[in-house]
């Protein structure tokens, strides 16, 4: 027989009321969990969408000369620039305050060259960062290692007869259902060397058809291209990827502009950003709705506890009379409240997860996962207990202040 | 000094509607010795329960002092007074006030719930007092599975479990028929015979006269005390 024995016995006796309170808190917590985990998953999905889109900030030189087109981005013409970008600018970008938020900084020099006698766009890149940025590239072969290794775009490779289709590989049923519009063709590299501006280079790999500008380009190491084009240390464009979900892209742009005053810095505003905004609004809405539902739950706890105090006046008076302190009464009632709200929190968390999971397909384009976050469970139980305890403080204090002599009075 | 000293105790309740003070006890003084059995009689509304709850350390008098075992009870803080009740007092209420959702042994152990004592020891004590009132076999019964007399005895057992120097009972036989009332009185007399100090409010003159001393209260004032102890003349055999 301890104080908790009394609390537990009371819970057992008033099962209906306990279940009522539990569901009140549970519904509030469930709503919060469902909405929060839903918007969390949407946020994750947008994060990975941003990942797939690649760069979201592009740095180009100020220029009024003829532009070459690279992936929808105007790249300043090669020879007439006043303000060239240089290797030093890459270092400049890595000095900005938000440098930790940058996942890839990919510098490039783009010019024209002759590949086996054909005039072609040549890009000098840092393969390490470039391949991280262009996640959609499907390489046949290996990433270049030595300075004389090159990657060929699909159409160039065809033009110089460097590849053959692998027979029978096209009709791959699994791949046909994937959401890549152009079905990738399996190819085999059949040529080892290619001449680049008159010098021999090794073909280390071919980029599968993308439908983008890289199909008609050749990629080599940045230093090598700078040498080939006679433009040491120069760059035509730096692509920057700031891929964190809540990146302050505008701030990053401003910081890069400050660091590189001679350059054009622009954020690529994708439709993804509009979606991100919608999700932000959903999260805010979720918070408001959860708060309202929780407040209703709290009010339920409050009124039920007030009722319980009236209902138990005699009982509490007897306990006080036989030597229970005020603090013992408070403890006994609070044990009940904590058990009820913790159970409501766990139940609400489970129900909310389930509801969120069921609702998820209606909000996403598929592929979004609902992670089991321990932090959300802890949060749910903590908020449930907080709500229960806070809304019981007044009724419980009132109970503890009951005058025992009046409570046990026989009228 | 006597074990219990009631010194010029007055109590005035303020009327809930008018807020005017209604005097219920006027300068009551009396003493109870250790081992004494005192009963209090008086018409309904004369202030019996008020005096009992004041003796019970849970109803602050408007004036006067209460000393129990030399302790000025109402000089203690509220929480300390709760501890005092737990150490010194056992209550038997008019309606017994048993917890309907706890079985007999659990009801009896209730006053021990706040004490740091091994649960085995609590159970042992609970069974001991159940034995004393003859309910050891019914330890697992819920109160509504007991007869009226058994419920009364259970309430007494609860009042005894903390081994209190003073037992206070407010009309313990009030709701019972004569036969079951006698059953309760038998327990009280038995306890008193073993040295238990008892203060009992009652309506029933026969039961009152079983005590060593009968106090009469009228309009909040004590009348002259009668030294009765007419037990031998009662329907109880001296064998108890
Ligand atoms: N808490 C209280 N507040 C106001 N009046 C009270 C209170 N308790 C008792 N009374 C009044 O005091 C008087 C004495 O009550 P009580 O001591 O219960 O009498 P008894 O037990 O002798 O019947 C009654 O008139 C009762 O209405
Ligand atoms: Mg009374």
Closest listed residue to residue A108, CA positions, set A140, A136, A73, A149: A73
Looking at A42-51, A208-217, A231-240, which range is the least confident one? A42-51
Q: pLDDT tens across A211-222, in order?
A: 888 899 999 999
B91–A2 C-beta distance less than 8 A: no
A241 falls in which pLDDT band (50, 70, 90)? confident
- Classify the C-alpha dihedral A211-A213-A217-A223 as positive or negative: negative
B232 falls in which pLDDT band (50, 70, 90)? very low
Q: Nearest C-alpha of chain A: how many angstroms from B186?
A: 23
pLDDT at A181 over 50: no
Q: Does A3 touch chain B (CB under 8 A)?
A: yes
Which of A5, A12, A403 lies at the smallest CB-CB distance from B113?
Answer: A5
pLDDT at B80 over 60: yes
Please give the Cα distance from A148 to A163 (Å, whole number): 19
A71 by DSSP, 3-state: which? coil
CA A43 to chain centre: 5
Arithmetic mean of pLDDT, A76-104: 78
Give me the phi and psi of B158, to 5 degrees please.
Answer: -65, -35
Q: Looking at residue B17, what is its pLDDT?
A: 83
Nearest CA to ligand 1 atom 17: B47
pLDDT at A178 over 50: no
Residue A264: count other Cβ atoms within 10 Å of its Cβ: 17
A265 by DSSP, 3-state: which? strand
Arithmetic mean of pLDDT, A225-229: 92
What is the enclosing helix (H) or strand (E) of A24?
helix A15-53
Q: Tell me which of B175 and A87 has the higher pLDDT.
A: A87
A184 falls in which pLDDT band (50, 70, 90)? low
Contacts of A329 (CB under 8 A, 6+ apart): A316, A319, A320, A396, A399, A400
Structural contact between residues A95 and A258, judged by C-beta atoms closer than 8 angstroms:
no
Please give the Cα distance from B92 to A374 (Å, whole number): 52
Ligand 2 centroid–CA B46 distance in Å is 8
**Which atom of ligand 1 sits closest to the CA of residue A411?**
18
- Give the ranges where A186-270 is alpha helix by DSSP (H): 222-228, 249-259
pLDDT at A82 over 70: no
Pocket (CB within 6 angstroms of ligand 1)? A 406, 409; B 13, 24, 42, 44-50
Ligand 1 mutation target, pool B13, B42, B93, B220, most atoms within 8 A of CB: B13
Which of B59, B94, B102 lies at the smallest CB-CB distance from A410?
Answer: B94
- Give the ranges where A212-325 is alpha helix by DSSP (H): 222-228, 249-259, 271-311, 313-321
SS3 content of chain B, % helix, strand, coil (to 5): 35, 25, 40
B78–A2 C-beta distance less than 8 A: no
Q: pLDDT tens across B131-182, in order?
A: 999 999 999 999 999 999 999 999 999 999 999 999 999 999 887 888 889 9
Q: What is the mean pLDDT of chain A?
A: 84
The interface residues of chain B toward chain A in range 101-120, judged by CB-CB distance below 8 A, are 101-102, 106, 109-114, 119
Q: Looking at residue B75, what is its pLDDT?
A: 97
Structural contact between residues A170 and A176, judged by C-beta atoms closer than 8 angstroms:
no
B-chain CB neighbours of A331 within 8 Å are: none
Closest listed residue to residue B204, CA positions, set B188, B190, B224, B221: B188
Looking at A368-372, A390-394, B54-58, which range is the least confident one? A368-372
Closest listed residue to residue B158, CA positions, set B231, B215, B109: B109
Structural contact between residues A220 and A196, judged by C-beta atoms closer than 8 angstroms:
yes
Nearest CA to ligand 1 atom 3: B13
A181: exposed, middle or buried (Cβ count in 10 Å: 0-12, 13-18, 19+): exposed
Closest listed residue to residue A85, CA positions, set A255, A246, A259: A259
Q: Looking at residue A70, what is its pLDDT?
A: 56
Quote the DSSP letter at residue B227.
Answer: E
Range of A24-38, A123-137, B157-171 with top mean pLDDT: B157-171
Ligand 1 centroid–CA B50 distance in Å is 6
Please give the Cα distance from A321 to A329 (Å, whole number): 12
Long-range contacts of B16-23 (CB under 8 A, 24+ apart): B23/B220
Structural contact between residues B106 and A9, judged by C-beta atoms closer than 8 angstroms:
yes
Q: Identify any residues that bridge with A206 across adjacent strands, giving them in sequence order.
A: A140, A152
Q: pLDDT tens across B172-227, in order?
A: 988 788 888 998 999 999 999 999 999 999 989 999 999 999 999 999 999 866 66
Q: Looking at residue B24, what is its pLDDT?
A: 95
Which tokens go with A255? 């910081």
Q: Does A311 touch chain B (CB under 8 A)?
A: no
A179: exposed, middle or buried (Cβ count in 10 Å: 0-12, 13-18, 19+): exposed
- Give the ranges where A312-373 is alpha helix by DSSP (H): 313-321, 326-359
Q: Tell me which of B18 and A175 has the higher pLDDT.
A: B18
Which of B56, B109, B119 lies at the smallest CB-CB distance from A321?
Answer: B56
pLDDT at A351 over 90: yes
Arithmetic mean of pLDDT, A74-92: 70
Structural contact between residues A350 and A28, judged by C-beta atoms closer than 8 angstroms:
no
Length of chain B: 240
| Unique residue bearing structure tokens 């609970």 | B126
pLDDT at B60 over 50: yes
What is the enclosing helix (H) or strand (E) of A163?
strand A163-165
């Amino acid at each position: 027989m301890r104080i908790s024995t009394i609390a537990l016995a009371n819970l057992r006796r008033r099962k209906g009321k306990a279940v009522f309170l539990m569901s009140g808190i549970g519904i509030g917590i469930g709503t919060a969990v469902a909405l929060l985990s839903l918007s969390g998953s949407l946020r994750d999905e947008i994060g990975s969408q941003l990942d797939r889109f690649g760069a979201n900030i592009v740095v180009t030189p100020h220029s009024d000369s003829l532009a070459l087109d690279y992936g929808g981005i105007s790249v300043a013409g090669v020879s007439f620039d006043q303000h060239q970008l240089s290797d030093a600018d890459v270092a400049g970008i890595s000095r900005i305050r938000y440098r930790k938020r940058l996942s890839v900084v990919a510098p490039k020099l783009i010019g024209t060259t002759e590949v086996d006698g054909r005039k072609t766009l040549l890009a000098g890149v840092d393969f390490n960062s470039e391949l991280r940025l262009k996640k959609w590239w499907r390489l046949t072969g290996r990433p270049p290692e030595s300075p004389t290794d090159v990657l060929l775009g699909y159409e160039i490779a065809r033009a110089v007869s460097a590849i053959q289709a692998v027979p029978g590989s096209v009709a791959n049923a699994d791949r046909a259902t994937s959401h890549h519009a152009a079905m990738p063709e399996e190819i085999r590299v059949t040529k080892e060397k290619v001449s680049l501006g008159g010098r021999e280079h090794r073909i280390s790999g071919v980029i599968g058809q993308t439908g983008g500008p890289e199909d008609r380009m050749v990629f080599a190491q940045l230093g090598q291209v700078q040498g080939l084009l006679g433009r040491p240390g120069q760059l035509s464009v730096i692509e920057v990827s700031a891929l964190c979900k809540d990146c302050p892209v505008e701030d990053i742009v401003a910081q890069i502009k400050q660091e590189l005053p001679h350059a054009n810095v622009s954020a690529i505003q994708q439709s993804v950003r509009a979606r991100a905004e919608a999700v932000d609004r959903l999260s805010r809405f979720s918070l408001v709705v959860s708060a309202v539902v929780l407040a209703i739950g709290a009010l339920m706890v409050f009124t039920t506890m007030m009722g319980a105090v009236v209902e138990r006046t005699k009982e509490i008076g007897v306990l006080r009379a036989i030597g229970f302190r005020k603090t013992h009464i408070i403890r006994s009632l609070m044990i009940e409240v904590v058990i009820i709200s913790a159970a409501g929190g766990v139940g609400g968390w489970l129900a909310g997860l389930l509801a969120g999971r069921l609702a998820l397909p209606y909000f996403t384009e598929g592929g979004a996962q609902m992670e089991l976050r321990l932090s959300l469970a802890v949060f749910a139980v903590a908020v449930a207990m907080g709500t229960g305890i806070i809304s019981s403080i007044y009724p419980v204090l009132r109970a503890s202040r009951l005058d025992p002599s009046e409570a046990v009075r026989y009228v | 000094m006597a074990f219990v000293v009631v010194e010029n105790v007055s109590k005035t309740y303020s009327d809930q509607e008018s807020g005017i003070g209604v005097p219920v006890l006027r300068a009551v003084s009396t003493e109870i010795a250790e081992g004494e059995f005192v009963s209090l009689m008086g018409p309904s509304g004369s202030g019996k329960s008020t005096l009992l709850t004041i003796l019970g350390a849970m109803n602050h008098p408007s004036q006067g002092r209460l000393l129990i075992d030399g302790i000025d009870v109402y000089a203690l803080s509220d929480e300390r007074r709760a501890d005092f009740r737990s150490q010194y007092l056992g209550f038997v209420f008019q309606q017994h006030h048993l917890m309907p959702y706890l079985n007999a042994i659990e009801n009896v152990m209730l006053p021990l719930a706040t004490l740091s004592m091994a649960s085995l020891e609590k159970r042992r004590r609970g069974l001991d007092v159940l034995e004393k009132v003859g309910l050891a076999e019914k330890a697992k019964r819920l109160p509504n599975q007991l007869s009226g007399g058994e419920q009364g005895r259970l309430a007494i057992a609860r009042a005894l479990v903390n081994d209190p120097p003073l037992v206070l009972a407010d009309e313990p036989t009030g709701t019972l028929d004569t036969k079951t009332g006698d059953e309760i009185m038998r327990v009280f007399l038995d306890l008193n015979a073993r040295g238990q100090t008892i203060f009992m409010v009652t309506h029933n003159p026969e039961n009152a006269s079983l005590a060593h001393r009968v106090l009469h209260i009228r309009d909040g004032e004590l009348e002259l005390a009668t030294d009765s102890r007419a037990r031998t003349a009662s329907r109880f055999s001296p064998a108890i």
